[in-house]
């Protein structure tokens, strides 16, 4: 593996200006480097700015401080080399599954025949080819997220951003999709930046786990998982890592509590 | 379905209308004055012969057709303007703030209140004036479409369609737009492939309401000078001749055509937008 950084974040911060003139510091001073084919997980308490950080990397959210550099180029707007999967339901409900998956190639002006072939191949990758002509409302939550993932892949991105993509799924489906995601990642060698608030999920998936503080989100710790895949949840290191990360999060929450009274309260 | 349930169901639909007709018939024979209230049979007989010449104004069918053409002209103009404007106003907050205050000033004005101004502007000018047609059948058709009438109908239909388009676009979830953007959608793609289809159910709903309002503006539009045909004019003219039976025939045909137009949109909504009901 080369020492090539595909993604470089330097002093990245975000301050939201609300309508009534207040400003909300969502993300503060984030430095992060991601190498090609890395699987990096970001964990942190909810509301700490994880989605905001990911949206800045995707180019959807204007950056207030610092910069995000992708392959030497500063990110200012979305680009097709960077794909994203959202937690919320993001499929177009009036389109069939295959037309949803073919959306990226369609925007790129690829012919109908070719983009359908491509979409079908990706649907096959997650065992969803039988549902190509179904509409999203006919699918279960797990199937919808499978479609959302291959829709991002059908655009052939180098970097895949995932914002709690399995957050709304039941535990069994979530574990199933984690496995599938690893299989796809190993097969297609994408670089993945994956946001979750689940410590278990992060340890199961990541090469490297970045722990964020409560809002404004900063990186407080980076942990290398260093376990072979497929990982056994019963492995002693698994439990050890979970304890370590939970301790960091707990300490952070306690500090925040004494500072602000309540981490859920808006301190501004 | 068993025959009995079918009959019961038809009975439920027809019970109230039949009672109404019965009361009408009783009242008419009691009053025995066809200027105040003509009998059911008299009105039905006229309705059953829609191609018969009435009070030297042409047949009912022709007058309904003339009215429909006017409504459609004003209505299509309103839709063609309100849909793109509404989508743009719903999407770009700046455009909305820029225009909304202005448009809101005109919204409460009833279409009828425009009549004096509209007459001062357009007088009896019609599409025939616009295309400079002065004789022949084309003249007869085009001269029936006065600008003043089209304007009144346009005003009536414009706001419901505009409001629903703005509302529809505002309701499009941010995730849909964001996911399209990361997939490489251009601004044009966003409009054509996300905003329009996503707000289409709301727009069609507004188009249905707008058509209803446009149809209701008809009588006021057809009372304008220069009008010598149309159901609205038929009603007012029949009134001056004390032909209450024709007044009622006109009212019934306005009601029936309005209900049919509404049904048309309901069918579209039912067919095309199953996904809005089935998506949470
Ligand atoms: N568009 C916005 N305007 C104002 N505040 C925002 C906006 N988006 C997010 N925030 C605030 O920024 C903080 C971080 O949000 P988010 O990134 O969604 O957190 P997470 O994904 O970690 O749960 C929250 O307090 C949220 O209220
Ligand atoms: Mg989030």
The full 3-state SS of A27-39, as one line of letters, equals EEEEEEEEECCCE
Looking at the CA of residue A54, tell me the nearest atom of ligand 1. Answer: 17
Distance CA A161, CA A177 (A): 16
Length of chain B: 280
Beta strands across the sheet bearing A82-85 = A82-85, A159-163, A191-196, A39-43, A208-212, A219-224
pLDDT at A265: 46
Q: How many CB pairs under 8 A join A and B?
A: 67
User: What confidence score (pLDDT) does residue B277 get?
Assistant: 66
Of the candidates B182, B198, B279, the beta carbon closest to that of A83 is on B182
pLDDT tens for chain B, residues 1 to 280: 678 888 888 888 888 888 988 898 888 888 888 788 888 888 888 888 777 777 877 888 888 888 898 899 999 999 999 999 999 999 999 999 999 888 889 889 988 888 888 888 887 777 877 787 777 777 777 777 878 888 989 999 999 999 999 999 999 999 999 999 999 999 999 999 999 999 988 999 999 999 999 988 887 788 777 677 888 888 888 888 888 888 888 888 888 888 898 888 888 887 777 677 666 5
Domains of chain B: 58-279 (1.10.3720.10)
Report CA-CA distances (Å) from B4 to A50, A181, B10, B125.
Answer: 63, 58, 10, 58
CB A100 within 8 A of CB A169: no
Q: Under DSSP, is residue B224 helix (H, G, I), strand (E, B) or coil?
A: coil
State which residues of chain A have pLDDT below 50.
Answer: 1-2, 263, 265-268
Give B237-264 as a DSSP string.
HHHHTT-HHHHHHHHHHHHHHHHHHHHH
Ligand 1 atom 14: the closest Cα is on which residue? A49
Sheet holding A65-70, edge to edge: A23-35, A5-17, A65-70, A73-74
* DSSP one-letter string for chain A: ----EEEEEEEEEEEEE-TTS-EEEEEEEEEEEEETT-EEEEE--TTSSHHHHHHHHHTSS--SEEEEEETTEE--S--TTEEEE-SS--S-TTS-HHHHHTHHHHHTT--HHHHHHHHHHHHHHTT-GGGTTS-GGGS-HHHHHHHHHHHHHTT--SEEEEESTTTTS-HHHHHHHHHHHHHHHHHHT-EEEEEES-HHHHHHH-SEEEEEPSSSB-EEEEEE---PSSPPTTSHHHHHHHHHHHHHHHHHHHHHHHHHS-TTS---
Nearest CA to ligand 1 atom 4: A16
- CA–CA dist A145, A167 (Å, integer): 10
Six token digits for residue B258: 């309005």
ipTM score of complex: 0.90
A156 within 8 A of A76, measured Cβ to Cβ: no
d(CA B190, CA B17) in angstroms, rounded, equals 49
Asked if A216 has any chain B CB less than 8 Å from its own CB, the reply is: no
DSSP string, B155-218: HHHHHHHHHHHHHHHHTS-HHHHHHHHHTT--HHHIIIIIIHHHHHHHHHHHHHHHHHHHHHTH
Task: Give the CB-side neighbour count of residue B159, counting CA atoms within 13 A.
Answer: 16
Q: At a CB cut-off of 8 Å and minimum separation 6, what does A256 contact?
A: A213, A214, A263
Q: Is A254 on the interface with B (CB under 8 A)?
A: no
The ligand placed nearest to the CA atom of residue A164 is: 2
CA–centroid distance, residue A116 to ligand 2 (Å): 32
The predicted model scores a pTM of 0.83
For residue B175, is the peptide bond before it cis, meaning its omega torsion is within 30 degrees of 0? no
- Helices B60-91, B93-106: axis angle to 10 degrees equals 140
Q: Do A92 and B198 touch (CB under 8 A)?
A: yes
Judge residue A25's burial from the number of C-beta atoms within 10 Å of its C-beta, 0-12 exposed, 13-18 middle, 19 or more buried: middle
- Identify the pLDDT of residue A262: 52
Q: Which one of A101, A107, A148 would you mutate to disrupt binding with B, by most B Cβ within 10 Å of its Cβ?
A: A107
Domains of chain A (ranges; CATH) run 5-81+157-260 (3.40.50.300)
What is the model's pLDDT at position A268? Answer: 40
Rounded to the nearest 10 degrees, the angle between the axes of helix B231-240 and helix B60-91 is 130
Q: Helices B244-272 and B40-47 meet at what angle, rounded to 10?
A: 60
Nearest to B82 by CA among B209, B206, B218: B206
Minimum CA distance residue for ligand 1 atom 6: A16
What sign does the dihedral B229-B233-B239-B244 (CA atoms) show?
positive
Query: Greatest CA span in chain A, whole angstroms?
Result: 60
CA distance B190 to B181: 8
Residue B280's pLDDT is 52
Measured between CA atoms, how close is B172 to chain A, in angstroms? Answer: 11
Which tokens sit at A130? 């039988």
Condensed to tens digits (0 to 9), the pLDDT of residues A29-56 reads 999 999 999 999 999 998 999 999 999 9
Q: Which residues surround ligand 2, an ion (CB under 5 A)?
A: A 51
């Amino acid at each position: 593996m080369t020492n090539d950084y595909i993604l470089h974040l330097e002093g990245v911060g975000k301050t939201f200006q609300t309508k009534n003139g207040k400003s909300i510091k969502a993300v503060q001073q984030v430095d992060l480097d991601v190498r090609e084919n890395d699987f990096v997980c970001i964990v942190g308490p909810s509301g700490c700015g994880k989605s905001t950080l990911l949206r800045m990397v995707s180019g959807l959210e204007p950056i207030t401080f610092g910069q995000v550099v992708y392959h030497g180029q500063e990110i200012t707007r979305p680009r097709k080399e960077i794909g994203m999967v959202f937690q919320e339901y993001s499929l177009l409900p009036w389109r069939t599954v295959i037309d949803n998956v073919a959306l990226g190639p369609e925007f790129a002006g690829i012919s109908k025949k070719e983009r359908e072939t491509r979409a079908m191949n990706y649907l096959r990758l997650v065992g969803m080819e039988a549902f190509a002509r179904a509409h999203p409302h006919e699918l279960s939550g797990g199937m919808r997220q499978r479609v959302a993932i291959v829709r991002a892949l059908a655009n052939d991105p180098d970097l895949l951003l995932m914002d709690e993509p399995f957050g709304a799924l039941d535990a069994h489906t979530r574990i199933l999709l984690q496995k599938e995601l690893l299989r796809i990642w190993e097969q297609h060698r994408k670089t993945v930046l994956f946001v979750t608030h689940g410590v278990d999920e992060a340890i199961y998936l990541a090469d490297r786990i970045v722990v964020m503080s409560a809002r404004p989100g900063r990186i407080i710790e980076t942990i290398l998982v260093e376990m072979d895949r497929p990982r056994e949840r019963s492995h002693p290191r698994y439990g050890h890592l979970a304890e370590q990360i939970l301790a960091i999060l707990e300490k952070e929450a306690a500090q925040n509590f004494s500072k602000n009274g309540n981490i859920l309260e808006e301190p501004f | 379905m068993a025959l009995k349930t079918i009959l019961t169901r038809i009975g439920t639909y027809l019970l109230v209308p039949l009672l109404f007709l019965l009361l009408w018939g009783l009242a008419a024979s009691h009053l025995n004055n066809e200027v105040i209230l003509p009998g059911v049979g008299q009105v039905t007989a006229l309705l059953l012969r829609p191609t018969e010449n009435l009070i030297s104004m042409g047949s009912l069918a022709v007058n309904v057709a003339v009215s429909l053409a006017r409504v459609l002209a004003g209505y299509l103009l309103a839709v063609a303007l309100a849909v793109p404007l509404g989508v743009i106003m719903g999407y770009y907050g700046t455009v909305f703030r820029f225009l909304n205050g202005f448009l809101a000033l005109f919204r409460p004005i009833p279409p009828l209140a425009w009549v004096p101004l509209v007459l001062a502007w357009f007088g009896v000018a019609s599409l025939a004036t616009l295309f400079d047609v002065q004789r022949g059948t084309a003249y007869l058709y085009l001269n029936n479409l006065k600008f003043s009438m089209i304007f009144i109908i346009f005003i009536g239909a414009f706001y419901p369609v505009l409001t629903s388009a703005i509302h529809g676009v505002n309701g499009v979830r941010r995730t849909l737009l964001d996911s399209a953007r990361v997939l490489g959608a251009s601004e044009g793609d966003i409009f054509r492939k996300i905003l329009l289809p996503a707000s289409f159910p709301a727009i069609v709903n507004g188009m249905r309401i707008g058509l209803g309002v446009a149809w209701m503006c008809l009588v006021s539009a057809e009372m304008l000078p220069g009008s010598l045909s149309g159901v609205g004019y038929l009603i007012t003219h029949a009134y001056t001749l004390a032909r209450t039976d024709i007044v009622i025939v006109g009212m019934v045909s306005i009601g029936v055509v309005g209900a049919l137009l509404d049904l048309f949109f309901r069918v579209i909504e039912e067919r095309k937008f199953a996904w809005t009901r089935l998506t949470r």
